[in-house]
Structure formats: structure tokens, C-alpha cells
Structure 1
Amino acid sequence: MDTKKTSNGWSDEELEASVDAYLKMWTLEQSGQAFTKSVENRLLREGPLHLRSASSIEYRMQNISAVFEQLGLKRITGYMPAKNIGAGVSERIRKVLAAKPALHAERHTAKADNPVPEKRTTASKPSLEIEPQGILNPRQLFTVSVSFARALHVRRLVRQLANGICEGCDQPAPFAGEDGQPFLEVHHVKHLAQKGSDRTTNAVALCPNCHQRCHRSGDRDAFTEGLYSKVQRLARE
């Protein structure tokens, strides 16, 4: 009998499955897409966490939210951080998160946006940083994503109207794409996930930096508002 699955303690596989599910919901929320916690909970109970109850999975998600806050990351809105999380559980969750490449970039961004002021102290404190060990043979994960059908002619026309110049910062495209044309990404000012249209009146051509600024920066709302003033073809939806 597999004692790891019948004992009260969570196995490494169960913990990683929980973190993967949390990151899936976290990614959807960061991109403005909807998800249902109860559905994700059920999928876990029907799969890798079939020996766990709905309430225990809910509490595990709250543990992960607590670790997110400890790391200075924005947690999922629907999962309040657990008030009392053991050091052992916290460390295990941190180790799983340390092996997730997508999270490293977000964590570095959070640190840059919220620098910690220097403190004068006479005693050194142990660092909570975890050195990622990496994975020698990464296993394949299957995830669920949501995408929207887009009109190819709209993307072409928006890039043509931009004429190789980013419509956000007014700088030339940073490089040429495989087709030899200036590389600009088409961004929907009102996101498709927010029921925005796929029309030239709701799309701009941006360099990668400005595109990410629209999604991730602290001034994304003000930056987006500025696009309506700069790009005359845009119409509010």
C-alpha cells in the first residue's frame, strides 16, 4: 500500500498538484479571465487529490495564498491567506513555487515595483530565499487555457496603420520578425475577455514592453487611457 497517499500528511505529488491548480487560477485572474473555484476543487478531487476532501483542498489553497503574501506576490482574490501556517508547510510550498519558471519573472517584477527599504540592524537575520534546484527531467503538465478567435485581416491592418512605430511609446519596433516586417504586437484596448471587439477601433500595435505595460504595470489604467487620446481611430466600448 502506498503510505504517502494514505497518511494524513500531504505527499509531494499532492502538494505540487495543489500549487499547479492555484497557479492556473492565478494566471487566469491576472489576465482578467474568469474561473470557478468549486470547479477547480472538484477537478482536483476527481484527479490527483481524490483522497482529499473539498474543505482540505480549500485550506491548502489558503496556505498557498499565505506563502504568496510572504513572497510579496499578489494572491488570488478568492482565497484568503491562512492565519496559521506551519514553517514546514510554508517551506515545502516555497520549494514547489521555486521550480515554477513563470512565477520567477512575476516575483522579480513585484520586487522591482515594491522595493523594500533598507533597515539598520546590528544582527543579521537568516534569509528566506530559496535557491532553485531545477528539475533534471521535467515532467509534462497538461493545462487548460482560454483563447479567442481573432480576425487575421484586423491584425494586419492595425500593424499597417502603425507603420512600424509602436503606438504606445512612439518608438520603432525593437526588431524585425521572421517575415522581415517590424515586430509589433496587436493589443485589444478593451480586452477580449472583457467582451471587447476584435476591430481596428479597439486594437493598437505595440512593442512588447508597451504591451506588457498594458497588462502588468501599476499605471496600466492611465497608460491605456492615454492610448485613446493618441490613437484617433480608437473608440471606447
Structure 2
Amino acid sequence: MDTQKEKSGWSDEELEASVDAYLKMLELELRGQTFRKSVENQLLREGPLSKRSASSVEYRMQNISAVMEELDLPRISGYVSAKNLGSGVISRIKKILAKKHTNALRKNIKRTAPSFSLRLVDAHQLQVCDAPLGILSPKQTSATVMRISRALSVKKWVEARSLGICEGCGQPAPFLNAKGEPFLEVHHVKHLVDGGTDRISNAVALCPNCHRRCHHSRDKDEFTKTLYTRIEGLSPE
């Protein structure tokens, strides 16, 4: 796709980065997982949207919501649709959405969430498929799981160091556990299965979103590297 710009100067790369972030948040919302719009906004401005203000990124997300509504697709509840945008940018957002789903089909990946699936109609139109029937009586299965022993003292020390603040995104723990303590998950920066040590120099306290990001996100390697610059005492292994 050749780089194009609208009156506001948004390039195709900036629009695509915005759509990527929007779809990621939408999937989390549809799966009932928590996320913070402000954190995603900041990450975009620290990366591909470094020339944009927080308010302009927020408004672009509202534009994407408007396009999702036009296509009769789910949208993020926290982004009210802002429909006063030109036909050019609408068409560009639709093409990006279509391309994202085309790439998924090529890789034989199905995006799934409760009552939500997409299929490609053409480069300008997406629609919701019928919800799957599912399984009325799921069968139980058993499996053998190998666990690596960990030092409880390391876990407690890292949790205390965090002061209830996620060491990945800098936001407070999303909720309190049954004991009334901030809920954070201790993550080994170099995974234990990869030979990482169970020491405070290789462990961080993360919210569930950042923890999943370290394991499953497209930018997991880049995000993991930032932990070494943010947290004093971490040592690459």
C-alpha cells in the first residue's frame, strides 16, 4: 500500500498502527479481559504515533469506531463514534481492516470471541457471521503438567518492590485479591523453561495484560527489553 495522507497528515502507517491497537483492545473487551485505553494511547505515542497528541489518538480511535458501526461490526464501548471524517479516510480504514483479516485467513488463523467472528466479503465490506453453536455438554479431559518449583521468598519480595503498581505499564493493580492485596503476577523476564533463574534480578510484578503481552504479543521482545530500563536491579540473562 502506497503511503497516502489526508488533510490532517495521517499516513497509512499511522492509520494501520491505530487499527492494530483498536483491534487488540476490541478482542480483549470481547473476551472480558481488562485493558486501559490510556496505556495503549501512550504506547502508540511512544512508538508509531510519536508525532500525535493524546487527544488526536483518542479521536482517531473514535473514527475507527464509526467505521466499525458502519460495517455493522462490534466496537469498543469506551470509544464513542466520531463520524465527521472524510470519505477518503473511511475508505482507507476499511481497506486496512480488510487487509488485516485477509492476512489472518492466509495464515489459517480464526479470530474468535463470544458471539463474534469475521469473514472477508471484499476490500470494502466486512460482516458478522452466525454465532457458532458450541458444545452443549463439554467432555472432561486430563493432562500431565510439568511445573518448575519457585522460591516463595522471591515472589513476595518482587511483589513488595512493586508497591501494587505494575512494573510494565506503571498502572495500579487492576483489582485486590481475596486477601485485600493488589493483584499482580510475578513474571520471569527470561522464562524459567528457557533456563532463566528464579531470582529478583530476573523477576517483575506485572498486571495480567502486561504479563500476557510478554508471552503472546507481536511486540513481546521489544516490550520485554523495556523492562530492563524501567526496573532497577534487573539483569539480562
TM (normalized to structure 2)? 0.48
Larger Rg computed on CA atoms: 1
TM (normalized to structure 1)? 0.48
